[in-house]
Amino acid sequence: MDHFQLRDGVLHAEDVPLPRIADEVGTPVYVYSRATLTRHARVFRDALGELDNPHIAFAVKSNPNLAVLKVLANEGYGADVVSGGELTRALKAGMKPEDIVFSGVGKTHAELLQGLEAGIGQFNIESEEEGYELAAIAERHGKRAACALRVNPDVDARTHEKISTGKRENKFGVPLDRAAEIYARLAEEDGLDMRGVAVHIGSQLGDLEPLETAFGKLGALIAELRAQGCTVTHADLGGGLGVPYKAGETLPAPTEYGAMVARVTKDWDVRLMFEPGRVIAGNAGVLLTRVIRSKRSGNGPPFMVVDAAMNDLARPAMYGAWHDFAAVAPSGDRMTAHIVGPICETGDTFAMDRECDALVAGDLAVFRTAGAYGATMASSYNSRGFVAEVLVDGDKYAVVADRIAASAIMDAERVPEWLA
């Protein structure tokens, strides 16, 4: 459930009518609902209620806006970060260092050091090589890094290939069949406190079975590690739970996920850790846009050109993703249109042959379920600048990220004198 609902025929974010935001902030603009973020954070936590003190780290990559992170920090969430930049954000938003997990295959020397100096709770190491590098840095600085080893369980998550991470051929984690020996070797390092294992097989999962298979394999690994004398006190089960993008679509509920996790992990005797992103933020945001014009195209449906584009919301262009598209003030009439942005490539298409609310030039509309992997994947392609972000809370709202104009980006560019 989200807090973007029609009231008196006008779409509101909580108690704020979206036309007000469009008039005052301009379009395109991402609009987030604090009540929805909070609700999702609690639903996810409650779904894990059977577990003993689960650790929940919001996947910052899904929505790194400082205000969004602050909402989640207030809910007691930690952060799953994948870069020095995300780590800086999580700390700035008030997430406790000990509640921060650092994932990612390519942490640089500087990023490993940054994590150590910040005193983060756990590094999820993705290779033996990374483990030795971290151990050396930690020893040199008189520290000990708490670590989990991320394993690649070779499980097909049955999601889009670009967001599938747990197959043997993907770059993530160490192969399951080598994990026990690698863990044992890394556990010998003075600079490392090898305390657990981690797995994350992909995102937007519509089916719990691949997760259950992966967790089963992780459970067997924990038993194997203990049998060979290693200590395992933590298991990080990653993120991945999908959300409905289409009205009427059903996905596994957090409660079903929680029940499956409780069943599969009941004998593990570890602290379980989670890294949800999309399930918290996805339906807590919309991308508000205005129709520039409708353009006839032969005998086919018209091209409805909106002022948002693939640089603002990349998911349809990148993954062929579906985002529901709806009028802010629907008349009740319907139409079929190709919904496109202004960018000069055919990939800048949000939907072809979409049956949607009838709209004309100047009307406002939203792409729904844009709170995760939306603004954060924006670019300034076609010199369009970066889109603004707004957070609504009841009857008030704040601009939580300014629009960055193309001219401001240009200000960071130089033409060297020798070209003059």
378 three-class SS: coil
Distance CA 71, CA 149 (A): 30
Select from 24-32, 132-140, 269-277, 396-404 the region that touches ligand LLP (CB under 6 A).
269-277
For residue 285, state whether it binds ligand LLP (rule: CB under 6 A): no
3 three-class SS: coil
CB-CB contact of 190 with 135 (8 Å):
yes
Which of 59, 72, 91, 305 contacts ligand LLP by CB under 6 A? 59
275 assigned to a ligand binding site: yes
Which of 45, 217, 278, 384 contacts ligand LLP by CB under 6 A? 278
Strand order across the 4-7 sheet: 4-7, 10-13, 16-17
CB-CB contact of 313 with 336 (8 Å):
no
Number of other residues whose CB lies within 10 A of the CB of residue 205: 24
315 assigned to a ligand binding site: yes
For residue 315, state whether it binds ligand LLP (rule: CB under 6 A): yes
Distance CA 396, CA 394 (A): 6
Number of other residues whose CB lies within 10 A of the CB of residue 43: 16
Choose between 194 and 251: whose C-beta lies nearer to ligand LLP.
Answer: 251
Number of other residues whose CB lies within 10 A of the CB of residue 178: 12
257 assigned to a ligand binding site: no
The minimum distance between CB 366 and ligand LLP, in angstroms, equals 17
345 assigned to a ligand binding site: yes
Which of 166, 277, 301, 330 contacts ligand LLP by CB under 6 A? 277
Which of 147, 230, 344, 356 is catalytic? The answer is 344
Distance CA 94, CA 116 (A): 17
Window 341-380: contact mask with ligand LLP (x via CB under 6 A): --------------------------------x-------
Which of 54, 276, 285, 301 contacts ligand LLP by CB under 6 A? 276
Tell which phi-psi region holds residue 46, choosing left (phi > 0), alpha (psi between -120 and 50) or beta.
Answer: alpha
146 three-class SS: strand
For residue 62, state whether it binds ligand LLP (rule: CB under 6 A): yes
Is 344 known to be catalytic? yes
Choose between 62 and 65: whose C-beta lies nearer to ligand LLP.
Answer: 62
The token pair at 398 is 């704040």
For residue 163, state whether it binds ligand LLP (rule: CB under 6 A): yes
Choose between 237 and 364: whose C-beta lies nearer to ligand LLP.
Answer: 237
Q: Which residues contact 163 (CB under 8 A, 6 or more apart)?
A: 202, 203, 204, 319
Select from 23-31, 54-62, 283-291, 383-391 the region that touches ligand LLP (CB under 6 A).
54-62
The token pair at 253 is 């509920």
CB-CB contact of 408 with 385 (8 Å):
yes
Window 240-259: contact mask with ligand LLP (x via CB under 6 A): xx------------------
Select from 5-13, 26-34, 265-273, 277-285 the region that touches ligand LLP (CB under 6 A).
277-285
Choose between 24 and 249: whose C-beta lies nearer to ligand LLP.
Answer: 249
Q: Which of 300, 394, 290 is nearest to 354 (CA)?
A: 300
Which of 38, 63, 152, 204 contacts ligand LLP by CB under 6 A? 204
Q: List, as one string, the DSSP characters of 50-101.
A: TSSS-EEEEEGGG---HHHHHHHHHTT-EEEE-SHHHHHHHHHTT--GGGEE
**End-to-end CA, the chain:** 58
Which of 80, 126, 189, 393 contacts ligand LLP by CB under 6 A? 80
97-116 residues in contact with ligand LLP (CB under 6 A) are 103
Which of 152, 203, 213, 369 contacts ligand LLP by CB under 6 A? 203
Quick one: DSSP state of residue 290?
Answer: E
Q: Which residues define the annotated binding site?
A: 240, 275-278, 315, 319, 345, 373
Q: Which residues define the annotated binding site for pyridoxal 5'-phosphate?
A: 240, 275-278, 373
Catalytic positions: 344
* Contact footprint for ligand LLP (CB under 6 A): 59, 61-62, 80, 103, 163, 165, 200, 203-204, 238-241, 275-279, 315, 319, 373
Q: Which residues define the annotated binding site for substrate?
A: 278, 315, 319, 345, 373
